[in-house]
Structures are given as C-alpha cells and as structure tokens.
Amino acid sequence: MISVRNLWKVFGSNPEAIIGSPDAALTRQELRAKTGNTIAVRDVSFDVAPGEVFVVMGLSGSGKSTLVRCMTRLIEPTQGELRFEDEDILKVDEKRLRELRKTRFSMVFQHFGLLPHRKVIDNVAYSLEINGVGKSERHARANEVIDLVGLQGYAQAYPEQLSGGMQQRVGLARALAVDPQVLFLDEPFSALDPLIRRDMQTEVIRLHHQLGKTMVFITHDLAEAVKLGDRIAIMRDGAIVQIGTPEELVAQPADDYVANFVRDFPKSHILTLRWIARKPQPGEDLNGPILAPSITVRNATRQIIESSLPIRVMENGNLLGVVTAVEVLHLISGQD
Amino acid sequence: MATTLLSKPANEPAPVVAKKSKLSFQLSLLTGSFLFFALLLRGIATLPLDTSSLTSFQNWLNSVSDWIGNNRTSNPVFTFFINVIRDFIDTFVTGIQDLISQAVGNNASPLLGWFGIVVMLSYLAYAVANLRIALLVCGGLISLGLLGYWQESMDTLALTLAAVVLALIVGIPLGICAGLFPRFEKIITPALDFAQVMPTFVYLTPVTLFFLIGPASATIVTMVYAIPPALRITAVALHEVPWSSVEAAISMGSTRMQALRKVQLPQAKRTIVVGINQTIMAALSMVTIAALIDAPGLGRVVIRALESLDIGSSFQAGLGIVILAVVLDRTTTAAASKVDAENSHLLDHKHHRQILKIGALLSLIAIIISRIYIWAGNFPGTGVLGHDIATYTDNATNWFQAHFVNVTNAITNAISYGLLNPLQSLLTNSPWFVTGLAFVLLAAILGGRKLALVATFCVLGIVGTGLWSDTMATLASVLVASIATVTIGIVVGVWIGRSKRADQIIRPILDAGQVLPAFVYLVPFLGLFGATRFTAIMAAIVYAAPASIKLMADGIAGIPASISEAGIAAGSSKWQMIIKVQLPSARRAVALSTNQGIIYVLAMVVVGGLVGAGGLGYLVVAGFAQLNLTGKGLAAGLAIVLLGILLDRITQAAAVRSTLQGK
Ligand SMILES: Nc1ncnc2c1ncn2[C@@H]1O[C@H](COP(=O)(O)OP(=O)(O)OP(=O)(O)O)[C@@H](O)[C@H]1O
Ligand SMILES: [Mg+2]
C-alpha cells in the first residue's frame, strides 16, 4: 500500500550534495561540525501492507518524526521514492497533495495540535470544513466520530477544558473524520501519563479492529510497539537497523543497539514455544502433553512446569521439538 | 565621558578574570589618553559654527529644499506621486475632521456634535471592552470639554485615528508577511530597528520638505512612527501561534491561506490587539509632536504655550493629552483582555449581543440629537474648569518658584558646575579628531572592526554636517541625563526586581509613564527650571527612566533561582548579594537598560530644543521657523540620526560583550 525506497532527508544548506558523498558516512556530530548538515533520515526503505499497523521505534533524535513527516511531505524529502497505491507521492503537485491529505492521510501529533479557539466539534470538523462540506453535514459526521472515540457530551467544549487524554481523543477523532486510508501517529501518547496511555492504546486497538485502518505509528516505548505493532522498524541515527515482528526483534536482534532496546522487555511475553523448543535428546520420554508452537512462553509456563514429562511442540502433526522447565528458566533468567 | 559611562557593564566582576581585566584595562587606557589629549590640544579643531552661519553642505541642503519648493507643481515625481499621496491623505484626514472636529460649511459644528461623539465612543468602548471602560471614556471626553479643549482634542483624535488606520492598513499585512516569511522579516528588521531608534523629532523636516506643512505631513510622520510597532507585534503574534496547530492544519490539506485565516490569525488576535494599542499610543505621541509642523490639536496648544513660557496653559493642554492617552490606552488594553476572555470562552454571547443592539440604537439617537440641538453640537461653556486649572497651576508654579528658588538653583548649579559644564567644555573644546578617534577606538574595543567602521562613518558624517560642536553640546546633555537615568534604572530596578511588593506598586506607575507622549514631560519641568537645558535634561530623565528601570528589574527578577540560592547558601548579606551576585548576573540587563536609557534620553533632549536647550534640537526647531535655516535644520536632523546610531550601536555592543563575558 505504501512503499518507501531509499528515502533521505538532510537538513541544512545544499543537502543533495551530502548524499552519495563520503560525508554521508560520517556520524551526526562529525557531519554537523564539518558542513552544518544533519542527516535526519538515511536511506530508508520499507513497505506497509493494507490494514497493517507499522510501528517505527527509536531513541530521541533518531529521525522518527522526520520520517513520518516526509511520508506526507510535511517535510520535503531530499531524495528517494515514495509510493502510495501506485502513485508517486514525491511527484504529485500541490493540489493533488492537498487532496491526498484531505481524503487519504491523517495525522495525530504528540502535542495534539488542536485549534484552541475552536470547539471540539469544530476541531473535528475542520478537515471537512476545508473540504467544503456543509455545516450540518459536517457536524453530523463530526458527532459520529466524537462518539466513536468515546467523547460523547464534549462536542461543545473547548480543547483547554479537556484533560490530556481527552484532547488526544479529539486528535484521533479529527484524524478519523474524513475516513482516511492511512493514519500517521507521531508519538500520540507520549505526553500522557501511564494509565491514560494504556487506555488510549486499548482504544487504538479497538478502533483498528473496528475500522481496519492502515497505521504508521511512531513511539519510543517498546511495550507500546509490541502491543500495537504488526511489524516494528527500529531506527538509529536516521537509518532503519531492523524491521520485523515483535517476536523476531526480541528473538534475533540484528545488533547490539536493537538488543539493548529489547533487553529489558520480558521475553516470555513475546516469544512463543517455537523459539525455545529444542531437539529431543536421545532417550527422552516423548509422551508428554502437546502444545502449539504459537503459544507464548508466558501462557505455557504453568503447564510446562506442572508437567513431569517434556512438552511436545507439534504443528500439523509434526514434532518441532520439546520444551522443559529448564528452557523456560533459561529464557526468563536471560541466559539463552 | 562616554567611556566611563559605557564601561560600567563591563566593569562588573566577571568569571573570566583575565579577559575582564584586559577589557577594563583597555577602557581605562582609552579614557586616560582621551582626557590627556583632549586637554592638551583643547581649543584646536573644535569646528564651532554660529547659529546663523551655514556650511556649504547646509547651503546645498537649502538649495535642495528650494528646488523641491520650485518644482513641486511641475516635476512628475511630485505631480503623479507625492502630490497624489498628499491629496489622498489630506482628504482622508479632513473627512475625519469634518466628522468630529471641524465645522462643516455653514454649520456651527462638525457632522457629529459632542453629545453624539461622547455617546457613540462610550458605546464603542463598551462594545470592545466593558462598562467600566465605557464610563471612563465618557468621563474622559467630558472632562476634555470642560478643560475648554473639545475641538483641539477632537482634532488630535482625528489625526491619531487617521494615522492609526493608515498605519494598520500598511503595518498589519506587512507584519503578516514578516510572520510568514522569515526572509522578509530578516530584510525588514534593520529598517524597523532604525525607525525605532530615531528620535521622533528628526522625521519632521524631511517629510514636510516633500509633503508641505499640514495634516498630510503630520499624518505621514505619524504613520512612519506608528507602523513599526504594528508590523513588529503582528509578526510576533504569528510567531507565537504554536507551530503544532499550523502543522496539523496543513497535514489536513489546508492551503497556506486557509491555515493563516482559520488557524493563525484567530490565535494571533489578542497579540495583534496589543499591537494596535502600541500603534495608537505611538501615533498619539507623534501627533502631538507633529504640532511643530502645524498639525492641529492639543499639541499645538502645548507648543504655543511652551514657546511663550505660559505654564498654566501648557499644563492645561498637557492634561488634555494625558486624559486622551489614558482613555485610549485603557480602552485598547481592556479590548485585548476581552479577546482573552473570549478565547477562554467566558462570555455570554446572546445577552451581550442584545445590549449591543440597544447601545447602537442609543448612539444613533444621540447623534441625531447632536445634529439638531445647538447645546448638543458645540460643547457648551468655555472650559471653566480649564481656566481654573491654568490659573491654579500658574499660582502653584509661582509659589513654588518663590519658595524653592534656592532648591532649584542649588540643583541647577550643582549639576551645572559639577558635571554638565565641565563635560560640555571638555567635549566642545576637544579637537574633533581626538573625540572622534576615542569613539572609534571604543567601538573597536567593544565590537571589533565592523563596529569601528560604523563609528568612523558616524563620526565623519557628523563632521560632514558641519555641526560637530553642537553635536558635542547635545552629547554632553545626553550623557548627563543618561548617567542619571541609568543610576535610577539600576537602583529602582534592583529594588523592584528583588521585591514583588515594590514591583506591584511601581510597575503600574512606570507603565502609565510610558504611555504619555514625550513632550508633556517638558511641562512640569518648565515650571520648575524655566527655559534652560535642565528642563530638557530633567524631562529626559523622567521620560527615559521607566524603560530603563523595567529592563533592569526584569533582568534581576530573571536571574535563575539556583544562582541566587547559591549566593544565599554561601552566607552573603543583602548588599553582598546585590553587588556580588545579582548585578554581575544581570550584567546584560544593565547594558540593555543603558542602551534603552540613552535612546530615550536622546529623543527627549532634542525635543528640549523647544524650551531653551541648545544644541541640535534647537537647530531643528529653528529650521522649522526660519526658511534660510531649513538646510541647517536638516543637517541637524542628520547629525541627530548619526549620533543616535553611534550611541545605540556602541551600547548594544556593550550588551553583547557583557553577555559573552557572563558565559
Ligand atoms: N528543521 C530541522 N532542521 C535541522 N535539523 C532538524 C530539523 N528537524 C529535525 N532535525 C534534526 O533531525 C534529527 C531527527 O529529528 P526527529 O525530530 O526526526 O527525531 P525523533 O526521532 O522524532 O526524536 P523525538 O523522539 O525526540 O521526537 C535530530 O537530530 C534533529 O536535531
Ligand atoms: Mg519526534
């Protein structure tokens, strides 16, 4: 649905000259000192499938916001290719771009970006308004999405009268008002406290199930990434170092940077039996209980520990391997 | 001399000991050698010039002015451009005057009689602000009538309104451009800085040269002065709008225009209203000064009275200006807070709208009445109250002068013999190249090569105007007044910077002081000191002190708590805290408040030319009055500009220098 190829964004003067020159290999600080440029996005490629929740993760300054803004051309990329449903986004003119933004793409921002001088309903209806939708019609639609995000009764309030969590619900409602195909969310919940954040994550999951929108979701919180993401891309200094399912990242981090990221995350919550099953040793009793490989270790732990025999991990009648308490303990204690 | 004053900020203890002592060493060396050479070579190359003699440059300016006079009706630049502008503005201003101040045709009163105006303006005040302000406007306007200056006040108001409307029409769109396009802002900022550093006085002559004396010139002069605040604050207002909401609007497919109209402007509204307040106050201040080029209104009354040393009348008319200033300021300030209230959605719109409709109806009725009945047309009576005030002021002044002549003389003499005379004789007797070189070196020390170049340019320019000696006389007054201003600025600034309580009491007074047009300050001091340099110097101090104090107080109050706490934890006493911790940390504030102090002082000292202060200001005034001195007046204006740039750049460099040192 979306396909990004070799995308670059270089800040500073004469950005094109950096790409392809030896300077591009320098670290951020070195390049900053030498030419004053910053490479915010470095040769990034990936695809997002329809209906997928694609999460981009990375430390502060790694270029996440720049990347997501490049995808809607809020920031003009320096080089690369960007396709949305076979349309070359980087080539379309201003008018078409606005049309795409009005109807296909929506964004949700970390600091909400609500319009303080407008009521909730007029905030939500803003994009319909600039689409030329009549007042009664756009208010009807706005009320619909306000209900959808659980803000019944607040249509006439002003943003500053709402709590942070509610404000971001307005942000979500505003993004959903035009029924876009893709939602871009730039750290939408980072400014919220943990409890509210959890509610909002659940809300997004619910909306995703209900509406099935494609989402590009930026976060720096691994738990959030794992909870929401079908796939996760990890960024460092502008480049993507690894893309994979949460399970793949945890099980096979591409390098120390990624490993560092996932280190503190309880692996048993993500990894399935497939990852810890081992070849049965000769003479081992293969009459233990059978479990599917897709069950997470956490959910299987009780059975594994209670069983006196090794658990058999079977898929379509084939034995993939066995699992005992030893493997579980290894995983939990982090010495696999 | 300049060095002793300007080195102040740099002399504070700095963390970088080596650098600091190097700088203060350089500055003392410069001061020392300047004094040495100035005294050694005194009397040589001092470039004096009689008031009535002209240099060839000044003669040339005269001939330029003559040429313009002769070609005004034939040269296409005039007939197709300048005269067209003049006619347009004249028509506009006269239209407003016909409406509120000047009798039209055979009628005895303007289109709107006083009664109609009072009701209508009170109603408008209610509409943009609240009931309290409406009452203030009503009371203020009526007291203007009671003072006996109804028509003059309305003339001033008409000119102010005309200039404000035009200034906003130009200033707000340009401000929006500056807010949207950083590049445009960058280009336009130096021009704005320049316009704001200029003493208002110097605009007058060049503008009259092109647009003749009269309402059009007065309006243009006022516009030039009032556009910068309008433009600047509009740009700031747009910058203040959080980028996140603009970005959100664009991400939803808004065009740039839609984002501006629906997102940025609504959020910038409040600050823009504040900008309108500043524009109005600047315009009022300038309109009164424009009386010098024959703008009608209260300013003219004040100037006539000042020139004939009629304290009573000048006070009476000055009071009128103050009332007008307070009314305009309060109304627009309240309008800004009302925008705030609207933004926080506290207003009951329906109820409000009904009252507004009724009010509009009442205004209409009042206007009709004021056109039918004589009593409602021309303000009745001849200003009984005003006459009493004038008499009372005269008596009070006489009494004061009789009883305190010793005190005022003592002050005058102390400052004259202790400071002003020696300084003036030092500066006017020193060879121009010694003083000029001292300025260039000072600039080089504080700001490096580029600033030294600017200083060289200014010094040579002043010499070129042929008015070096007069410039030095003006400089002496400016320096004395600045020293006093900065001292007051630091003392009071530290005091209110340290005490919330003092701040709460004093700041409103300072704010009020800044609202008044410059030359009403001359009035009380004229009563005390007569027509001398002192009136100008004292007025300059009072005029400049608020800006200086405020900057200082903000600097002290802005010192991070951690620094102050460290000082207290180290067991410093109150004075140790002030001298060793707070003043050094607020070094930049000291420098900035010096800078602002000097700029304000310069503006006022030249206005003092009206009341007996000599120097450049007097020449500018003489240039208005005598045709053969027009060129000299223009040259004097130019010299003021150059002196202003010189002082401004050098003190700014000192501010930058002290910021760097603090780090
Ligand atoms: N307009 C700009 N001009 C110059 N450099 C910029 C600009 N915007 C971002 N950068 C730089 O690009 C890099 C990436 O910034 P970006 O905001 O994309 O990071 P991020 O991953 O979103 O960080 P965070 O988690 O803090 O939001 C940073 O080094 C930043 O300093
Ligand atoms: Mg970011």
pLDDT digits (tens, 9 = 90+) for B576-631: 777 777 777 777 788 888 888 888 888 888 888 887 777 888 888 888 778 788 88
- pLDDT score, position B623: 83
Nearest CA to ligand 1 atom 11: A40
Q: pLDDT tens digits, residue range B421-436?
A: 888 888 888 899 999 9
Contact B247 A160 (CB under 8 A): no
The most confident of A149-163, B343-357, B619-633, by mean pLDDT: A149-163
What residues in B contact A155, CB-CB < 8 Å?
none
pLDDT, tens digit, 9 for 90 and up, residues B460-486: 999 998 889 889 999 999 999 999 999
Confidence of residue B14 (pLDDT cuts 50, 70, 90): very low
**Structure confidence at residue A46 as a pLDDT band (50, 70, 90):** very high
Q: How far is the CA of A36 from the centre of ligand 1 (A)?
A: 14
pLDDT tens-digit profile of B76-118?
A: 887 888 888 889 999 999 898 888 878 777 777 777 888 888 8
Tokens 């340009």, residue? B174
With a CB cutoff of 8 Å and minimum separation 6, the contacts of B272 are B172, B233, B234, B237, B265
What is the atom index within ligand 1 of the atom nearest the CA of A64?
Answer: 21
- Which residues does chain B have within 8 Å of residue A74's beta carbon, measured at their own beta carbons? 247, 250-251
- Which of B251, B261, B265 to mutate to probe the A interface, most A CBs <10 Å? B251
Q: What was the pLDDT predicted at A138? A: 93
Provide CB contacts within 8 A for B284, sequence distance 6+: B156, B160, B321, B324, B325, B328, B517
pLDDT at B530 over 80: no
Residue A242 pLDDT greater than 70, yes or no: yes
Query: Which ligand has the minimum distance to the alpha carbon of residue A64?
Result: 1
Protein residue whose Cα sits closest to atom 5 of ligand 1: A11
Q: What are the residue ranges spanned by the domains of chain B?
A: 86-100+150-347, 105-146+348-382
Give the Å distances, CA to CA, from B416 to B42, B420, B531, B533, B614: 20, 5, 15, 10, 14
Å from CA of A63 to ligand 1 middle: 5
Q: What residues contact A172, with CB distance under 8 A and at least 6 apart?
A: A108, A149, A188, A203, A204, A207
Of A198-202, B49-53, B548-552, give the lowest mean pLDDT range: B49-53
The whole-number pLDDT of residue B343 equals 66
Window 155-194 of A, Cβ < 8 Å to B? 158, 160-161, 174, 178
The distance of Cα B17 from the centroid of its chain, to the nearest Å, equals: 39
Determine whether the interchain pair B343/A117 forms a contact, defined as Cβ–Cβ distance below 8 Å.
Answer: yes
The mean pLDDT of chain A is: 89
Any chain B CB within 8 A of the CB of A245?
no
Task: Report the alpha-carbon distance of residue B522 to residue B528 in Å, rounded.
Answer: 10
Put simply, the answer to whether B253 touches A174 (Cβ < 8 Å) is: no
Which chain A residue has its CA at the smallest distance from B268's CA? A117
Q: What is the pLDDT of residue B661?
A: 60
Q: Which of B150-159, B310-319, B575-584 has the lowest mean pLDDT?
A: B575-584
Tell which one of A8, A10, A11, A70 to mutate to probe ligand 1, the residue whose CB is within 8 A of the most ligand atoms.
Answer: A11
CB contacts < 8 A (A, B): 68
- Distance in angstroms (rounded) separating the CA atoms of residues B320 and B364: 27
Per-residue pLDDT band at B347 (split at 50, 70, 90): low
Sheet holding A53-58, edge to edge: A105-108, A182-186, A214-219, A53-58, A231-236, A239-244
pLDDT of residue B400: 79
Q: Is B254 on the interface with A (CB under 8 A)?
A: yes
**8-state DSSP, A267:** G
- With cut-offs at 50, 70 and 90, classify the pLDDT of residue B345: low
Provide mean pLDDT across the span A180-191: 92
More confident residue, B588 or B661: B588
- Which amino acid residue places its CA nearest to atom 10 of ligand 1? A40
Q: Pick from B251, B258, B345: which is nearest to A74 by CB?
A: B251
Residue B493 to residue B482: CA distance in whole angstroms? 15
Q: Is the pLDDT of residue B1 over 60?
A: no
With CB atoms and an 8 Å threshold, state whether B244 touches A112. Answer: yes
Contacts of B254 in chain A (CB under 8 A): 98, 130
Residues B21-46 have a mean pLDDT of: 83
How far, in Å, is the centroid of ligand 2 from the Cα of A108?
12
Ligand lying closest to the C-alpha of residue A75: 1
Quote the strand ranges of A156-295, DSSP E.
182-186, 214-219, 231-236, 239-244, 290-291
Residue B560 neighbours by CB distance under 10 Å: 9
Query: Which residue's C-alpha comes closest to atom 30 of ligand 1?
Result: A61
Sheet holding A290-291, edge to edge: A290-291, A311-315, A318-323
Mutate-to-test residue for ligand 1 from A64, A70, A189, highest number of ligand atoms within 8 A of CB = A64
Across B20-48, average pLDDT? 82
Give the pLDDT score at B659: 67
- Tell me the β-bridge partners of A87: A84
List chain A residues with CB under 8 Å of B345. 158, 161
Residue B245 near chain A (CB below 8 Å): yes
pLDDT, average across residues B372-387: 73
* Ligand showing the shortest atom-to-Cα distance for residue A11: 1
Helices (H) and strands (E) in chain B, counts: 31, 0
Q: Which ligand is nearest to the CA of A76?
A: 1
Tell how far the Cα of A61 is from the centroid of ligand 2, in angstroms: 7
Q: Which residues contact B87 (CB under 8 A, 6 or more apart)?
A: B216
What is B529-561 written as a DSSP string?
H-SSHHHHHHHHHHHHHHHHHHHHHHHHHTS-H
Question: Cβ < 6 Å from ligand 1: which residues?
Answer: A 11, 38, 40, 58, 60-66, 220
* pLDDT of B335 over the 70 cut: yes
The CATH H-level superfamily of B86-100+150-347 is MetI-like (1.10.3720.10)
What was the ipTM of the complex prediction?
A: 0.85
Averaged pLDDT, B25-42:
85
Tell me whether residues A126 and B262 touch, CB distance under 8 A. Answer: yes
Segment among A102-106, B192-196, B454-458 with least mean pLDDT: B192-196
pLDDT given for residue B660 in this prediction: 65
Q: Do B242 and A107 touch (CB under 8 A)?
A: no
Pairing of strands A53-58, A231-236: parallel
Give the per-residue pLDDT at B15. Answer: 45
> Cβ B248–A113 below 8 Å, yes or no?
yes
B341–chain A Cβ distance below 8 A for any pair: no
DSSP codes of every residue in B310-353: -HHHHHHHHHHHHHHHHHHHHHHHHHHHHHHHHHTT---HHHHH
pLDDT band for position B16 (cuts 50, 70, 90): very low
Q: What is the 3-state secondary structure (H, E, C) of B256-269?
A: HHHHHHHHHHHHHH
In tens, the pLDDT along A69-109 reads: 999 999 999 999 999 998 999 999 999 999 999 999 999 99
Q: What is the mean pLDDT of residues B169-175?
A: 95
Asked if the model's pLDDT at residue B652 lies above 90, the reply is: no
CA of B246 to the centre of ligand 2 (A): 17
Q: Which of B177, B199, B210, B225 is nearest to B519 (CA)?
A: B199
Give me the residues paired with residue A5 across strands.
Answer: A81
Minimal CA separation from B269 to chain A, in Å? 10
Residue B443 confidence class, pLDDT cut points 50, 70, 90? very high
Residue B10 has pLDDT above 80, yes or no: no
What is the share, in percent, of chain A residues with pLDDT greater than 70?
A: 99
For residue B196, is pLDDT > 90? no
- One DSSP character per residue, B590-653 reads HHHHHHHHHHHHHHHHHHGGGGT--HHHHHHHHHHH-GGGHHHHHHHHHHHHHHHHHHHHHHHH
- How far is ligand 1, taken at its centre, from the CA of residue A69, in Å? 11
